[in-house]
Amino acid sequence: MYILLSLVVVVILASCKNVKLADADRHFVNGEYFEAASKYRTLYRKTPAKERELRGVIAYRLAESYRLINNVPAANAAYANAVRYNPNDTLIRLQYGRTLQKAGNYKQAITQYNTFLESYPGFRFAENGVKGSVNAPVMKQSPTKYSVKRMDVFNSRRSEFSPMLLPPDYTTIYITTSRDDVLGEGRSPITGMNNNDLFVSRLDDQKKWIKPESAGPVNTEFDEGVPSFTATGNTMYYTFAKHDSIGPSSTAIYKSRRDGGAWAGGTRLHILGADSLDVYAHPAVTPGEDFLYFVSDMKGGYGGKDIWRGILTDQDELIAIENLGPEINTAGDEMFPYMRNDTTLYFSSDGHVGMGGLDIYKAIYNKGNLKWEVQNMGVPINSQADDFGITFYGEREAGFFSSNRGEAKGADHIYSFEYPVVKVAVEGFIVDKDDEFVPNAVIRVVGNDGTNEKFNGKP
């Protein structure tokens, strides 16, 4: 049943007489969702209301196109039309529930999920959608202590996402952006926006972030983004996507090294057993550069896009590829992994119980039972929209992430987050068994994080 989510492409009839519909379908199959939406929208308007079945098919494909470019209001309107014309199509109900949840319409989302579950009882993705829609209002009323702030210095009227702080001093940050001054010309047929480039910002002498600028030769006319750095900050892994009219689209992981302070043009990372038709993206290298975590829709997953990992060799190969398993991966999409240390993984998912859209999760690997323990990061880091691409200032409980909250057409922007430092003052008296004060007593305070502090009492 999980294949329903990875197979968002509806069946296209080879004998279809409608050339314009076939053309729109071709764009959809090629992942050109913005172009597909434009053509489906025109077709829907020109199809007579009496042709109910055809209007229902077009409305559903239009809704799927809007969903995949994060235009949630338009997707919900199109799904409503699809349900009106094809009320018995249960897959429409599932997808409609997803976008209703993402819009914060939780009661309506529950109705659509439950209608789907009547035909497919026990389908975990839909069950998690119901649980998330029930839990979301409670989570909003019980936020965590994290403070979140939109970082306008990084953002433009286009999209900015997947911030990544550069170790070891974390005074430099890289972002993925489709702002107007990227290298590529024209708009992507996938998103309707410019192709993405890597941009960089640094802290000035007043400890303020400066306006981002191009990261240099690593950028091309195609898509570059979602970087990950080794602990030294001298090697970068990133996603490279090529979409043009000459050949098939491809999404791969590239590697770049510093060349005189600037990043050189990247080279493709060889992944053992990789299929050129599969997606390989969102690299996350471990601090020691032993393992590389990444996202792929390759065979052997649990549905949609999964998080995998492999061993990095000295020959720039990724071998011994393995799926992270059902604790991490679901029938939905798991993406944007970030390895904070060798056992702590952050990632985004729309398949676990969450607020709606992509939520950010923290997963700790238990070496005792060899399983991942996953928890939702809660509100305000997560919202009903897409929240993803987190990065930390080393061991500090602070950093940045991206979100399209409050954006009707799905544009992403960068936010900062920080957990307040809690100062605890302890006062008391040290006495012996006879209740006599003990002068100059030595006091040790042991924390549950392993800290061990020594203090001397006052005389």
Asked if the structure places residue 330 within a domain, the reply is yes
Nearest residue to 67 (alpha-carbon basis) of 84, 44, 92, 42: 92
Q: Give the C-alpha separation, 31 to 189, whole Å.
A: 8
Residue 401 and residue 359 in one domain:
yes
- Do residue 128 and residue 178 come from a single domain? no
User: Looking at the domain assignment, is residue 52 inside a domain?
Assistant: yes
Q: What is the pLDDT of residue 248?
A: 57
Distance (Å, whole) CA 154 – CA 281: 23
215 and 100 assigned to the same domain: no
C-beta atoms surrounding 265 within 10 Å: 12
Looking at the fold, whether 123 and 186 belong to one and the same domain comes out as: no
Same domain, 137 and 260: no
341 within a domain of the structure (yes/no): yes
In a domain, 443, yes or no: no
User: Which of residues 114, 141, 168 is at a domain's end?
Assistant: 141
* CB-CB contact of 36 with 55 (8 Å): no
Is the domain of 28 the same as that of 77?
A: yes
Q: At residue 14, what is the residue type?
A: A
- Under a CB-based contact definition with an 8 Å cutoff, are residues 403 and 386 in contact? yes
Strand order in the sheet with 270-271: 270-271, 317-323, 306-312, 291-296, 280-285
Q: In this structure, are 313 and 209 located in the same domain?
A: yes
270-321 pLDDT tens trace: 999 998 889 999 999 998 899 999 999 999 999 999 999 999 999 999 999 9
Surface-to-core class of residue 436, CB atoms within 10 Å of its CB (0-12 exposed, 13-18 middle, 19+ buried): exposed
Whether residue 5 is predicted with pLDDT greater than 60 in this model: the reply is no
Amino acid found at 46: K
Q: Rounded to the nearest 5°, which phi and psi values hold at 446? A: -110, 125
Q: What is the pTM of this model?
A: 0.89
Q: Is 453 part of a structural domain of the chain?
A: no
**Residue 152: inside a domain:** yes
Residues 182 and 311 in one domain: yes
Mean pLDDT of 432-440: 74
pLDDT of 114 > 60? The answer is yes
Q: Which domain, by its residues, includes 370?
A: 147-418
Number of folded domains in the chain? Answer: 2
Residues 186 and 316 in one domain: yes
**pLDDT at residue 204 above 80?**
yes
- Together in a domain, 264 and 383: yes
Kindly state whether residue 448 falls inside one of the protein's structural domains.
Answer: no
Angle formed at CA 148 by CA 142 and CA 149, multiple of 5 degrees:
145
Cβ burial 366-381 (10 Å sphere, 16+ → b, else e): eeeeeebebebbbbbb
d(CA 288, CA 297): 26
Task: Give the per-residue pLDDT at 11.
Answer: 43
Q: Is the pLDDT of residue 14 over 90?
A: no
Same domain? 188 vs 69: no
Distance between CA atoms of 370 and 220, rounded to whole angstroms? 41
Q: Could you tell me if residue 192 is left (phi over 0), alpha (psi between -120 and 50 degrees) or otherwise beta? A: left
Q: Which residues of 418-431 are buried (b: 16+ CB within 10 A; e: fewer)?
A: eeeeeeeeeeeeee
**423 falls within a domain:** no
